[in-house]
Amino acid sequence: MKNHHYLNILLLCFVLFMSSCFLFRTSFDQSLSKYSIKNKKAIRHFEQGYRFYESNNDKYALDHLVQAVEMEPDFIEAHGMLGNIYYDHKKYDKAIAEYQTVIEVNADFFSAIYYNIANAELKAGKYQAALDHLNAFLAKDNISKILEEKSKHMLVNAEFGANAVKTPVPFDPINLGNGVNSIEDEYHPAISADEQMLIITRKVPEGTVAGRTFYTEEFYYSVRNEASQWKLARNMGPPLNTPDNEGAQCIAPDGRWLYFTACDRKNGLGSCDIYTANKIGNSWSVPVNLGEPVNSEKWDSQPSLSSDGKTLYFSSARKGTKGGSDIFMTMKKDNGTWSRPENLNFNTREDEMSPFIHPDGETMYFASKGLPGMGGFDLYVVKKDKKGNFGEPQNLGYPINTTGDEHGVIVGASGEIAYFASDRDSGVGKLDIYSFELYQKARPTKVTYAKGFVYDAKTNQKLGAKFELINLETAQVVVQSFSDNETGEFLVCLPVNRDYALNVSKKGYLFYSENFSLKDIKGSEPFLMKVPLQPIEKGGRVVLKNVFFETAKYDLKPKSQAELNKLVKFLETNPSIKIELSGHTDNVGGKQFNQVLSENRAKAVYEYLVSQNIAPDRLDYKGYGDMQSVASNDTEEGRAQNRRTEFKVIE
């Protein structure tokens, strides 16, 4: 049996009943009175067409049904079934014409025909006509509660669509070209924070049996050339790609973690599960099933990872959903496991899918069938409030959304360019990857990225090291991760208009301290840095660049605490080390004042460390005033470098 739309089943109820009468009654003439016409030949064509329709042979069904209505132009049942077939094949204008004929012949024959025609009109983008027919249907007596509820939802969509087409949003999609797209289907784009690497899912033919081609899904990646054009996409190969299907992927901002969906695996928990793999140097690890509680015995798919790596969003049809599939959120714990997934507040009684959390950590894009839209799946944007809760989703508008299904969109770190898959006449193949400039109102908070590498200050060997980026205003850790063990590289996304502290640490080395501001950054220029780590040895020095004092005072500012705690941790990890804390000033003001000020600042750090149970006999402090300048005092930049607190390994 065909998996008919509910409304089609209703329309056929009368026909199905009459066909049963014909099949099981001994007298054919007895069934003739049940039809809207008496022509026996027309009825035979109709019933033959119905049998072909039920056996999924629409071509022959159409032949017989067309002959039936040619013989009897007012044959209501035949027109209704023709409408169903045209609807199934997305020939909505033809379906509308057949349903309209039913109404014109006998407007009271079957009240649900108004629901049918309105649904086809929504698919065809004829929103005002759909509004008229939905209102007519809702005015009927004795309509089912289910259809009444569905009609009211369709009414909202019809009203939304009618207004949306009158107020279109800017939208000019550009095909990414032959480098990314092929004659096959490409979809589910994922992009690195610097927008230099794109990973896609491609449907690849794997063989033909009895004239039928079978496909599998595999990962491909493309990188930009010097002219910012996408190079020819290459198969990512094993262990990511296997003889089975892989897809619906997301990539961490630094391009070193991949989360994706795999179905019907031997180690799977449900029909589809979420897996992860890590890139070290140029090689990917064997993917690992995330297991419970992220994966369930049902369908779990379409992961999206926050830029700090701490929150994973995904679609699931697990027990407890509000609709068929909902969007869930899970948090990574300190021990590396994931928390029990939470159902997000904006899910509806219909389906929500394809979440994408932007690197700003506050803006999500997703697809929904349950919110006001153009019909089918529409794309939406939703933002977090100051408490971290998602607000009211907003439809991305027409023509980004259409009468068909839009299944997902991702947005680059800059917030300006979006990427999506679409089947368009201008395509290289069928489904292709496109980009477009996202209009201002739908954009996330502007984000740039910090990119660099960690290395041994003496040997220049690249190092894998732990790094933290801290918002200096809130003292909150924004990102905590590791540089690549082989290349020493790291890349993280950071919202602009904020000041940050960077701390980098590795066993056997002095930790590294730096701070920088993204408040005056223009566009989305990356913040690039090199991080030299000094081996722990006598005489090694570290400038505590994130220890701050009030002007001309020795009171520690609260935002110094993160760095001071880093120093405490360093001393706890290396219990045999003794250090000297030193304070330094520029040459502005009297020498005696600067000498006392520098000593008091060093003492303030000393007292903090002692308060954190660091033994006093491991610490010494001194003030040097302006006697050990590291830059010229003739410029403000130089004077800023000279005003510093540092420590030196003395034993």
For the stretch 70-87, pLDDT in tens is 999 999 999 999 999 999
Q: What pLDDT, on a 0 to 100 scale, did the predictor assign at position 510?
A: 96
Token pair recorded at residue 319: 């027990």
Q: What pLDDT, on a 0 to 100 scale, did the predictor assign at position 503?
A: 93
pLDDT under 50: residue ranges of the chain:
1, 3-32
Q: Which CATH architecture has domain 537-651?
A: 2-Layer Sandwich (3.30)
CATH hierarchy code of domain 174-442:
2.115.10.20
> Strand, coil or helix: what is 172?
coil
Q: What pLDDT, on a 0 to 100 scale, did the predictor assign at position 365?
A: 98
Q: What pLDDT, on a 0 to 100 scale, did the predictor assign at position 524?
A: 60
State which H helix or E strand residue 409 sits in: none
Instruction: Yes or no: say if 427 and 194 are a contact pair by the CB < 8 Å rule.
Output: no
Q: What pLDDT, on a 0 to 100 scale, did the predictor assign at position 209?
A: 79
Same topology, domains 174-442 and 447-535? Answer is no
Dist CA 370 CA 378 (whole Å): 9
Instruction: Yes or no: say if 527 and 451 are a contact pair by the CB < 8 Å rule.
Output: yes
Token pair recorded at residue 413: 């770190």
Q: What pLDDT, on a 0 to 100 scale, did the predictor assign at position 455?
A: 97
Q: What pLDDT, on a 0 to 100 scale, did the predictor assign at position 263?
A: 93
3-class SS shares of the chain: helix, strand, coil, % to 5: 25, 30, 45
Dist CA 120 CA 102 (whole Å): 14
Measure the N-to-C terminal CA separation of the chain; round to a whole number of Å.
83
Q: What pLDDT, on a 0 to 100 scale, did the predictor assign at position 53?
A: 92
**Bond preceding residue 293 cis, omega within 30 of 0:** yes
Q: What pLDDT, on a 0 to 100 scale, did the predictor assign at position 17?
A: 33
DSSP state, 617? G
* Domain regions of the chain by residue span: 6-164, 174-442, 447-535, 537-651
* Whole-angstrom Cα Rg for the chain: 33
Token pair recorded at residue 64: 């017989």
Q: What pLDDT, on a 0 to 100 scale, did the predictor assign at position 477?
A: 87
Q: What pLDDT, on a 0 to 100 scale, did the predictor assign at position 355?
A: 98
Homologous superfamily of 6-164 in CATH? Tetratricopeptide repeat domain (1.25.40.10)
Q: What pLDDT, on a 0 to 100 scale, did the predictor assign at position 525?
A: 67
Q: What pLDDT, on a 0 to 100 scale, did the predictor assign at position 346?
A: 95
Q: Which CATH architecture has domain 447-535?
A: Sandwich (2.60)
Interaxial angle between packed helices 40-54 and 58-71, expressed in degrees from 0 to 180 and rounded to the nearest 10: 160
- Which of 191, 285, 199 lies closest to 247, judged by CA? 199
118 CB-near residues (< 8 Å, 6+ apart): 129, 130, 133, 134, 137, 151, 154, 158
Exposure string of 320-345, with b = 16+ CB inside 10 Å and e = fewer, is ebbeebbbbbbebeeeeebeebebbe
Q: What pLDDT, on a 0 to 100 scale, did the predictor assign at position 282?
A: 86
